Structure formats: structure tokens, C-alpha cells
Amino acid sequence: MGMSMAGQKGTPPWRTRITCLNALSALLIFLVTAFIIEELFAPPASSQNFSSPASHVVLCMGTIGARASLLPETLASLYNQTWKVDKIIVSLNKAEVESVLKILEAFGPFKKEEVESSRESGQRIVMSGNEGRLALQFLETSWGPGTKLVGAYLITGSKADTLLITVDDDCWYAPNLVETMVTHMPADKGALCGYCEVPLTWKRGTWLRMDLAHYYGQRYYPGHVAECQGWLMGFGGVGYWASTLDDRLLTFLSELPKGCYYHDDVWLSGYLHQSGHKRYFLYGMPLPRHGAYLANLSVHSQENTQIRDQLPCVEHFNYFRAIKGLT
């Protein structure tokens, strides 16, 4: 018995102290890391200045004839909004008027409107339906996915106090999307979205989703607006003040690298960036639900498009760094 007790050794005091120090160090590192993340990724608690709600709200969508079958369900979600929408403009390329009208006959009857064509727009036909609340614009000229905003501008112009909200043709939107957008537009006339990508200058061809990185912002600061230092992601809806657009929008794409055609998120934000208009994203913007996915009719079907097409577009805008002379 005595030998058994003598053969047992307790934990050395120095090892106990090291274990305690390691535990305290781990706790300290955790607390410091949490503090740094909070400071870097969470917006300040100060209030944001918002604009008064727009007098006119226009939803803007673009598509091509081969994707027109997606429109009925998307339009149904847009007509089910808690905030009154004055008009929905759908701009179409490579589409036959009669076939599209047949797909959307539930939103008719349609009548042809008298519109002027121009060298920039090419020939265009506008059919008005749903008692004037829906405009189908058939365009000869294409700005790629960016046709949704450019096409709407052809109809509204730079009309004061008009909010243009672009949406995608293959998403179903929450009923409070428009209300959330209208009531959170920044007072400085910047554009607003729920989702933002920022290029990493130290890792070429890599982007960071800021709305996902800002975990604390999403969780603790819903309804707060933060500035986007990159481009707004259009799938969730983007709000633009019509008064911040001008006719340069019609030719801007032709001045850019060829790949920008497929990446409207980048070049439309680049247009705002060069014009001195800020981009913002809102923590807690309603998330849309994707409907039918047409793989062969999506930008994602383009092989290696991020490096071949999107990256040159990002580089054209100098990674969205600040422009001297603009505040």
C-alpha cells in the first residue's frame, strides 16, 4: 500500500500553471478577435440619413425571347408588393412580339404605344398592358443583362423623384422588397442593394461578398446601410434614382472591355462610380428565391467568364478605387 502511494505522482505545479496560462491566452485571443471582427465588419450604431420616399416607383427587368417563359411567375411576385408600384418595364431583346404577348396574355390586353427610336436605341416597340402599369419594350439594341436599366431609362429619362428598381427575370421577390428599398434609399442619391461584392486587390480575380462577411452587421444591425466599395449584385434588386442617370448610359458599355457586356453588376456600378455616385448595401434586405434555372441561357454558362470577362471589366474601373476629385 505504501509503495503504491509512493509510486503515484501528482501533476507538477509548473504544468498546471502553463495549462491555466494557455487557457487564459486562448480566451484573450478569442475576445480580441471578436472585438476586431466587430469593429471591422459591423457598421457603427449611428443612424443613417435616408431620403424621403420616391413619388414614383418603377420596377425594371430585362430578358430575351428564349427566357420569356420565366416572366409570368416573376411578374406575379412583383405585383404582390406591399408598396405601390407605378409601372413595371420589361425590356426584351431577340423576342417576337406576338409570342411574348401570348405568354403574358393574363396581363393584357396590350396596346401599342407611340415611341421614338434613336441611333443609340435602334428600333423599339412598346406594348402597354395591365391598364398601363406594365410596359413591354422590344429593343433592337442590346446592352446584355444591363438592358433592364438602360431600357427603363429610355422610357423614364432622368425624371426627378423617380426610383428605378432593377430585378432579375428568374427570381421571385418577397412582398416587402419594394417597401424596404423605398424606405432605405440614402439621402445622397446613392444606389442601394442588399448584396455587395468587393475585389481583392491582393488576390487577382477574387471577390468578397461583403454582405456575407459582415456577419455581425446582418445579425445585429438589420436596417443599417453600409457603403459598397465594389459593385452591387443585381439578383436581389438594385435601386437607382433616375435623376442620377443621363444619356451617357446609352453608349457607356461600348467604351468598355468586351467582357463587361455579360457582367452588368460591374459596369453599371462602374458607371455610378465614375459619375461620383456612391453604392450602398442594406443589412437585412429581403432575399429573393430563384425560380426555374435555364443553365444554357445564363451568364454562368459562359466558361471561365470570371477571369476572361469579369476581371478585365473590374480592372478597367481600377478595382473601384477612389477617383481623385470625386468625394
Mean pLDDT score across all residues of the chain? 87
Answer yes or no: is 42 within a domain. Answer: no
Answer yes or no: is 6 within a domain. Answer: no
Answer yes or no: is 25 within a domain. Answer: no
Q: pTM of the full predicted structure? A: 0.83
Stretch among 75-89, 137-151, 215-229, 256-270 having the lowest mean pLDDT: 215-229
Stretch among 9-13, 52-56, 67-71, 233-237 having the lowest mean pLDDT: 9-13
The letter for the amino acid at 273 is: H
- Of residues 34 and 178, the one with the higher pLDDT is 178
In whole angstroms, what is the distance from residue 57 CA to residue 48 CA? 22
Q: In sequence order, what are the beta bridge partners of 58?
A: 87, 164
For 293, the domain range is: 56-320
Answer yes or no: is 49 within a domain. Answer: no
Q: How confident is the model at residue 5 (pLDDT cuts 50, 70, 90)?
A: very low
Q: Is the pLDDT of residue 155 over 70?
A: yes
Provide the pLDDT for residue 30: 72
Give the mean pLDDT of 253-263: 96
Provide the pLDDT for residue 29: 80
Give the mean pLDDT of 150-158: 97
Give the mean pLDDT of 178-193: 95
Asked if 195 and 269 touch (Cβ cutoff 8 Å), the reply is no
Answer yes or no: is 202 within a domain. Answer: yes
Q: How confident is the model at residue 322 (pLDDT cuts 50, 70, 90)?
A: confident
Q: Is the pLDDT of residue 246 over 70?
A: yes
Provide the pLDDT for residue 34: 57
Q: Is the pLDDT of residue 215 over 90?
A: no
- Of residues 258 and 4, the one with the higher pLDDT is 258
Answer yes or no: is 139 within a domain. Answer: yes
Contacts of residue 312, Cβ cutoff 8 Å, sequence gap at least 6 = 257, 259, 260
- Which candidate, 212, 307, 312, 226, places its Cα nearest to that of 267? 312
Q: Is the pLDDT of residue 300 over 80?
A: no
- Which candidate, 74, 73, 71, places its Cα nearest to that of 100? 71
Q: Is the pLDDT of residue 263 over 80?
A: yes
Asked if 44 and 138 touch (Cβ cutoff 8 Å), the reply is no
Q: Is the pLDDT of residue 107 over 90?
A: yes
In whole angstroms, what is the distance from residue 140 CA to residue 256 CA? 20
6-62: pLDDT as tens digits: 444 567 777 777 888 888 888 888 766 655 555 555 554 434 688 899 999 999 999
Our count of domains for the chain comes to 1
Answer yes or no: is 67 within a domain. Answer: yes
63-100: string of b/e by CB count within 10 Å (b at 16+)?
bbbebbebbeebbebbeebebebebbbbbbbebeeeeb
| Unique residue bearing C-alpha cell 398592358 | 129
Answer yes or no: is 43 within a domain. Answer: no
Number of other residues whose CB lies within 10 A of the CB of residue 318: 13
Give the mean pLDDT of 73-88: 96
Give the mean pLDDT of 66-89: 95
Give me 177's grid cell: 422588397
Handedness of CA 124, 125, 126, 129 (dihedral sign): negative
Provide the pLDDT for residue 3: 46
- Of residues 80 and 13, the one with the higher pLDDT is 80
Contacts of residue 162, Cβ cutoff 8 Å, sequence gap at least 6 = 54, 55, 56, 57, 58, 156, 241, 242, 243
Q: Which CATH number do you get for residue 308?
A: 3.90.550.10
